[in-house]
Structure 1
Amino acid sequence: MDETVLTEDGIRLWATRIGEGEPVVFCHGGPGLWDTMADVAASLAAVATVYRWDQRGCGRSERSGPYSVARTLADLDAVRAHFGLERMALLGHSWGAQLALRYALAYPERVTKLVYVSGTGIDLGSTWHEAYERNLRRGIGEHVARWELLGSMDRTDAEDRELCVLQWSADFVDRDRALQHADDMATPWFGVNFECNAALNAEDKRDWGSPQLRDRCAALEVPTLIVDGAEDIRPRSAVDSLAQALPAVSRVSLTGAGHLPWVEDPTGFRSAVGGFLSGYRA
């Protein structure tokens, strides 16, 4: 059942829950996108109560700012409070993995476990982004000219969707099914919040990659599982420094999977994440 979470500044956030067991709150990717992990929630419902939500200005949530990392962390805490959770596990994907890590660093006493899926680590983006751009263009393949054209022009909503489907298709290893997987991600289509995307990405660039961040991660005692698709177009070496910094961490790399590993290896993903979560102890 859909629910409305009201933030402290009066913004309405969409949320929903499914399952039975220890509480796990999902943090979707983006920024500026929406939750597309209903299938993940369903696969984990036997071992956890899964809470999904759309971040401020995104998807089914109210399209209103302001947009900042601090504001998004406060919104995540509003989701926790709305559902009456004293403590919770967090599962974050891509940008959401960074968000979940930030929350755990800010409020470690409220986080039981952290599942860090397809994130990009704690180093500066410049250490991996050039390789990502090469891999992205290679993954888009024969559609790269159309993708470039769409990216350079003023677009309709339908053209925004086309651009995203072409770009997201590069995130899948199975090229025969990549466009269909990407189209599934874009259905239903809620529209990208590019203002939110720009604001949060700019903030990440300012404060990611510092020695202080590494030290904070080294002091984080929250048990963490890092889950990677081995063929993610974002180099997995970007996550190495995070894995080395965290004191209570395990890591699973799923062969034959890309940026959304639960799509291309659902069994391996469910086994790794479900096993980690079901071993929860308060």
Structure 2
Amino acid sequence: MTAITEDGVRLWASRSGEGDPLVLCHGGPGLWDMFGDMAAMLGDRASVIRWDQRGCGRSQRCAGPWTTDRFVADLDVVRRHFGLDRMTLFGHSWGAQLALSYTLAHPERVSTLIYVSGSGIVPASDWHAPYTDNLAARLGEDPERLARWRELPKRDPERALLQWTADFADHEHALEHARRMADPWFDINYECNKALNAETAGSWGTAVLRTACTSLDVPVLIIDGAEDIRPRSAVDSLEKALPRVRRVVLPKAGHLPWVEAPEGFRDELETVLGRTSRPGRR
């Protein structure tokens, strides 16, 4: 399906499964939806809506604008395209930041926010240096992989794939998981990435943002993987600010906890999506 924004940009969108609407916001910035496995996992619990953000993946390449406000407006276009009054809103990594921004702007349209592997509301400078150290250490578990990653140009797809292996706690299967993330491959939108990261550097970590979070009257479920190389302490700031929040840390899982802890991840989402019987589960 295609949702058309007010400025004429075509956004790729997909709907599958049955149940109440669950809208997924992918990470990046500049990447694309990689939630095919998750949509299949949850298809008997929810009507799962996936979309590629502006200028990314299967959506129309465009000249921006690359701002959080524009992406929030695009997400609302997707909501209206599928005729939703309210939705459970799920965001992963950068998508968690986008989903939080949307919920702060439109709390009446979000029944629950599911915030996965985000970086909280502190400035990026608070967590980025430890993340960089952890990235090198995780890649260094395979010296050849680390050496290859360091020698490749920054925009080489192979370098991105090798970097993604560090997002998994299970070293043995990390390359397999990363290859699955990269299939299908779409060019990373580095212009989008640079602009939105620069915007975040100037606007995240402010007293205004924290105050907005303290007033948010929407239930929030925070899910982290215990082995995520992005310091989970950064998310403490968000947890402390939110008045209606529950936080879960899944052991032996990295940045994509639904991949490495699928049963625990699904169980947690079922607390939001509702439980009904299904074969093989009690």
- Shared topology, TM-score over 0.5? yes
Offset of residue 89 of structure 1: 1.1
Offset of residue 66 of structure 1: 2.1
Deviations 1:213-253 (A, max 9, x none): 11100000110000000010001111001001100100110
Matched with 1:33 is: 31
Moved over 3 A (4+): none
Offset of residue 46 of structure 1: 1.4
Deviations 1:49-102 (A, max 9, x none): 110000001000001122211111110000001011111110000000000000
Matched with 1:149 is: 151
Deviations 1:143-183 (A, max 9, x none): 2222122245xx5xxxx220111100000011011111111
Could you tell me how far apart the structure 2 residues matched to 1:151 and 1:260 are? 25
Q: Is 1:167 paired with 2:166?
A: no
Matched with 1:95 is: 94
Matched with 2:131 is: 132
Matched with 1:78 is: 77
Matched with 1:11 is: 9
- Structure 1 counterpart of 2:78, one-letter code: V
Matched with 1:262 is: 258
Greater shift in the superposed pair: 90-99 or 125-134: 125-134
Could you tell me how far apart the structure 1 residues matched to 2:147 and 2:214 are? 44
Could you tell me how far apart the structure 2 residues matched to 1:187 and 1:209 are? 35
SS of alignment partner, residue 176 of structure 1: helix
In structure 1, list runs of 5 or more residues that go unmatched. none
Matched with 2:41 is: 43
Matched with 1:203 is: 199
1:14–1:60 CA contact under 8 A, matched in 2: yes
Q: Is 1:182 paired with 2:143?
A: no
1:48–1:278 CA contact under 8 A, matched in 2: no
SS of alignment partner, residue 171 of structure 2: coil
Q: Is 1:247 paired with 2:243?
A: yes
Could you tell me how far apart the structure 2 residues matched to 1:106 and 1:120 are? 19
Offset of residue 119 of structure 1: 0.2
SS of alignment partner, residue 266 of structure 2: helix
Identity %: 61
1:13–1:62 CA contact under 8 A, matched in 2: yes
Could you tell me how far apart the structure 1 residues matched to 2:45 and 2:116 are? 18
- Structure 1 counterpart of 2:41, one-letter code: S
Offset of residue 117 of structure 1: 0.3
- Structure 1 counterpart of 2:39, one-letter code: A
Could you tell me how far apart the structure 2 residues matched to 1:84 and 1:103 are? 17
Could you tell me how far apart the structure 2 residues matched to 1:99 and 1:149 are? 32
Greater shift in the superposed pair: 53-62 or 141-150: 141-150
Calculate the aligned-residue CA RMSD, in Å.
1.0
Offset of residue 277 of structure 1: 2.1
TM-score (norm 2): 0.94
Deviations 1:121-148 (A, max 9, x none): 0001111111111100111121222212
Following superposition of structure 1 onto structure 2, how do residues 225-236 of structure 1 map, counting pairs within 5 Å?
A: 225-236=221-232
- Structure 2 counterpart of 1:110, one-letter code: R
Offset of residue 276 of structure 1: 1.8
- Structure 1 counterpart of 2:185, one-letter code: W
Q: Is 1:194 paired with 2:190?
A: yes
- Structure 2 counterpart of 1:103, one-letter code: Y
TM-score (norm 1): 0.94
In structure 2, list runs of 5 or more residues that go unmatched. 276-282
Could you tell me how far apart the structure 1 residues matched to 2:55 and 2:134 are? 30
Offset of residue 191 of structure 1: 1.1
- Structure 2 counterpart of 1:77, one-letter code: D
SS of alignment partner, residue 164 of structure 1: helix
Matched with 2:209 is: 213
- Structure 1 counterpart of 2:205, one-letter code: G
Could you tell me how far apart the structure 1 residues matched to 2:210 and 2:273 are? 25
